Amino acid sequence: MSKHFLNIPAMYRLVTRWIGYLPTPLSYAISQHIADLSYALYNSAVKNVKQNLRLVFPDLPDKNLSRLSRKLFRNYSKYIVDCGRFTNFNKKALTEQIVCYEGKENLDEVLYMNKGLILLTAHLGNWELGGMFFGSYGFKINVLTLPDENPEIDTIRSRYRSVYGVKTITVGNTPFSMLEMVRALDNKEIIAMLIDRYHAGLDSITTDFFHKHTLFPRGPFVLSRLTGAPILVAFVVKEKNVYKGIIERPLIVTHEDEECATLKVVVKIFEKYIMLYPDQWYNFTPI
């Protein structure tokens, strides 16, 4: 089993409904014990994490790799706790969670273009907070996702996103999902998606990711080309006990032969921040 122990419906229900009633230090302490238990029991997930981190740090000693992997599991448990806590926050309390932004001028630039926005990120840091943050400010944001193995998790995620005006578009449920995305961009809305985990059946482009030939979805680059919407790569990462937003410079695909080149730029950005925050790269499937 490659799925993380915390990524099950019972755990999602617990953290989204009840975690806000516990003091944060206590909820973190409990989560750390659960993380250590999942690290001990879920061997396939640990193996996948180590395999991915080995690509990032090929020369890292095995002992250090194990230590880094365990820290990643513990950070992921805090991420789950934070997602639960934030669903109980009002708008002001939520926006205060991201204490600073690097590159906020890049967001201002693309919003000034008024052509919608394709927001790309990885399973790095707290991507759910980023979506809720934009939604709390009144931006119309659509999170693109693939169906989870357990439909109940999809329902729970959609419910807590909707509290902050974040709409979930599930790819695969309808052949018209691409039209729905185009319509959202035509309405000057934001389409946000995680692209560091490819799923079979999607139109793809291959490029090197940490020196390994890796498939990435082609969709966001086609969308940029068809609609003229700019692409932003952004992350919300945790430093010490606070969150920081990172927004890179906008990219636009104007011709089909630019799709691969633009993906390569995006992947280089991914590599940069994964190397900076490897213990927050919550990718439990091998790339």
Tens-digit pLDDT profile for residues 167-212: 877 776 555 577 888 889 999 999 999 999 888 777 899 999 999 9
Q: For the chain, how many structural domains are there in total?
A: 1
State the Cα–Cα distance between residues 280 and 246, nearest whole angstrom. Answer: 14
Q: Write the pLDDT tens digit of every residue in 37-82.
A: 989 998 999 999 999 999 999 999 999 999 999 999 999 999 988 8
C-alpha distance from residue 156 to each of 17, 84, 85, 150, 167 (Å):
10, 11, 14, 11, 13
Whether 134 is in a domain gets the answer yes
For residues 206, 209, 213, 217, the Cα torsion angle rounded to the nearest 10 degrees is -30
Q: Which domain holds residue 219?
A: 9-280
What element of type H or E holds 190? Answer: strand 190-194
User: Quick check: is 287 in a domain?
Assistant: no
Q: Please report whether residue 138 resides in a domain.
A: yes
Phi, psi of 175 (to 5 degrees): -70, -5
Instruction: Give domain status of residue 4, yes or no.
Output: no
Share of the chain above pLDDT 90, in %: 52
Q: How many CB atoms lie within 10 A of CB 268?
A: 13
Residue 163 identity: V
* The two structure tokens encoding residue 120: 């790309």
Indicate whether 2 belongs to any domain: no
What element of type H or E holds 174?
Answer: none
Residue 285 lies in a domain: no
Whether 62 is in a domain gets the answer: yes
Whether 118 and 231 have beta carbons less than 8 Å apart is answered as yes
Inside any domain, residue 163: yes
